[in-house]
Amino acid sequence: MLTRTLSAALLAGCTLALAAAATHRVAAADAATPAADHAQIGSFGLDLTGGDPSVKPGDDFARYANGHWLDSAQIPPDRASWGSFAMLRERSLQQLRELLEALPATSPAGSNSRKLYDFYHSYLDTEAMERAGLDPAKAVLTRIEAARTHEDIAAFMGRPELQLTAPVRFDFDPDEKDPDHYMIDVLQGGLGLPDRDYYLKPDPVYQELRSKYAAHIERLLKLAGQADATQAAKSILELETRIASAHWPRAKTRERDLTYNPYTREALATFAPGIPWPQLLGGAGLDTQPRFIVFEPDAVQALAKLFREVPVERWRQYLTYHYLAGNAATLPKAFDEEVFDFYGRTLHGRQEQQARWKRAVAAVDAGLGEAAGELYVQRYFPPSSKAQMLELVENLRASYHEHIEKLPWMSAETKKVALEKLAAFRPKIGYPDKWRDYSALEVRAGDAFGNVARAAAFDWERQVKRLGGPTDRGEWGMTPQTINAYYNATFNEVVFPAAILQPPFFDPHADAAINYGGVGGVIGHEMGHGFDDQGAKSDARGVLHTWWLPQDTEAFHARVDRLAAQYDSYTVLPGLNINGRLTLGENIGDLGGLSVANDAYHRSLGGKSAPRLEGLSGDQRFFLSWAQVWRNKQRDEDLRSQVTSDPHSPANFRINGVVRNVDAWYRAFDVRPGEKLYLPPEERVHIW
């Protein structure tokens, strides 16, 4: 979900959000305008107009809390989903737009302000893109066409601008067994569709999507003047199908102990001899690096064999398509519209392309995110919010401590290490202490294509240069304007960007139950990633190793296996169920986070009873706040993509799938046997 400075591999499965969304109109927190002294949603922070009281909470809590909204809200035509996250994202885009458009064109050359101005306005200048045609891409396209050997192709696949679609790709992370130093990961890649299932499943819906994908490839290559576009499209689809056949399933790639496989540079040549490693590494600027971590060993071996078997001509076609598709947003409109038609409309159900200004803001966030973030927090993030968040974090930490101490299934020895890890959790709130230095990034007025390419190269070179040096534990993997949060296992930290600290997640004037059910559940979720099925494999320093006694591991897996089985049973679309293994870490985070946040809420009351507000008890408000956060509508196409490739469960299951395992929810809403969500006490999953 996400443009990140930390790698996708590092953060996969540890973020809070899918592309969910919001429903409430709330006032912007502007430093120039004093904050309201009352809750921004309803009288105490909860939207009581969106529920459906005709539904029993125990039959469908998501609908009880959000049913009226679900019936009446419309997904905007440029969106694949709409709800609490998406509305805040929309608001963040608008706030950044105002900041960017207020920058003077006369800012000093080389300053962040001038770079932001030129990057943003160049991206808006579609007339310049039409005049330039394919000229900005011709240098790379010509070199691809000139490739005659597999060594030539490998050198190109190593380049930063082609890495995202290379069958064997690289990423940068702290070493999971030595978090004080960076490491280079070698991973499977190379697919244009969301996941291997899109190529391999025989269902008619996937057959149709494959046919549409081939037709899209053909049209895009024809726009570029390729004479053999029809044959090339068939070749590319067949090649990617073979790549998909070699891939590990998504759920398997989550297993951190399976994906830590160190190799020296010299050993790569004998491990996977089909790839010309000197050329591939040289293209990436990694030819002097001594050591690598291979994530999916047998998949990389199979892809290396495939690389050598496939003729160079077919790789040229493959690279040409992916280079054009990856850069279509800054090419003439026909290219941009063709890529949107398939990836936006066909795969995700969007009816319209987003306004150009929204995409320009997103491009700035990707290329100069912290420079924009510095402006954002100056305007929109009051220090008081950070102080309140730190208090919430400490209440959550205290509640987790109490939960771990009382666990009936964990030994005293393992509890001791778990509590050490909990004590070492580092919360990062709002924005980094040190902003990124963009002085080496060249931004040219009127050159959107080049600016995007140079920004990608700048970030790649930045990461290459620090290899061998100490890790930067102050670095952030998200910009402050991002509506999301994450847990980083190798630094044992939880990170909450400024932009998510707004209603419905957090409101300094809302009832405590609302904040603990909203952002408290978020904090608990992220802290819970440190103790989910993968995060629990690292210790307090973030080192990947076994610190559990065998009987504790066995007891833990008995519980998480039951949770995975619950989610496996949930049907999202006809013939499509949630993958309980793929989503397991996020589901553990939701379950543990909500349970601990509920106890933290009661801790915050200081022994006093919660007042009733508009007829609702404190716990009722708490659970309704959690449901309000996950209020979301989603197009079927986007749901299919999410369930196939995303480790997050769809939003309504992040409500119903969680609460039915939480005892306090049963008491709050008097849920009884015979109601659809009811689980007997012995069938409820309690982990942390």
Res 30: pLDDT: 36
Which pLDDT belongs to residue 16? Answer: 59
User: In the chain, where are the structural domains located?
Assistant: 8-21+61-92+381-433+471-683, 135-331
Superfamily the domain 135-331 falls into: Neutral endopeptidase , domain2 (1.10.1380.10)
Instruction: Please tell me if the domain spanning 8-21+61-92+381-433+471-683 has the same topology as the one spanning 135-331.
Output: no
Contact between residue 664 and residue 641 where contact means Cβ atoms under 8 Å apart: no
Residues of the chain with pLDDT under 50: 1-13, 18-35
- What whole-number distance in Å separates Cα of residue 673 and Cα of residue 497? 41
- The three state secondary structure string of 78-98 is CCCEEEHHHHHHHHHHHHHHH
Per-residue pLDDT tens over the stretch 157-173? 999 888 878 999 999 99
Indicate whether this model's pTM tops 0.85. yes
The pLDDT score that the predictor gives to residue 31 is 34
Long-range contacts of 247-251 (CB under 8 A, 24+ apart): 247/188, 247/191, 247/196, 247/296, 247/299, 248/188, 248/296, 248/299, 249/196, 250/195, 250/579, 250/582, 250/644, 250/645, 250/647, 251/579, 251/581, 251/582, 251/584
* pLDDT given for residue 13 in this prediction: 41
Residue type, 494: V
From residue 2, alpha-carbon distances to 82, 175, 346, 422, 634 in Å are 17, 22, 21, 27, 18
Rounded Cα–Cα distance for residues 471 and 10 (Å): 14
At 2 the pLDDT is: 24
CA-CA-CA-CA torsion sign (151, 154, 160, 162): positive
Q: CA 67 to CA 52: how far, in whole Å?
A: 5
| Cβ atoms of residues 471 and 182 within 8 Å | yes
What's the pLDDT score for residue 388?
A: 85
Task: Quick: pLDDT tens for 607-620.
Answer: 999 999 999 999 99
**Residue 130 CA: distances (Å) to CA of 126, 318, 483:** 6, 25, 33
30 three-class SS: coil
With CA atoms as reference, report the closest residue to 13 among 366, 256, 266.
256
DSSP states of 83-150 as a string? EHHHHHHHHHHHHHHHHHHTS-TTSPTTSHHHHHHHHHHHHH-HHHHHHHTTHHHHHHHHHHHH--SH
Rounding to the nearest 10 degrees, give the CA dihedral for residues 433, 439, 441, 447.
Answer: 110
Q: What does 170-231 look like in DSSP terms, one character per residue?
A: EEEEEETTEEEEEEEEEEE---SSSSTHHHH--SHHHHHHHHHHHHHHHHHHHHTT-TTHHH
Structure tokens at 392: 């919430």
pLDDT confidence of residue 383? 82
β-bridge partners, 616:
613
* Residues 8-21+61-92+381-433+471-683, CATH architecture: 3-Layer(aba) Sandwich (3.40)
Strand partners, 486: 15, 495
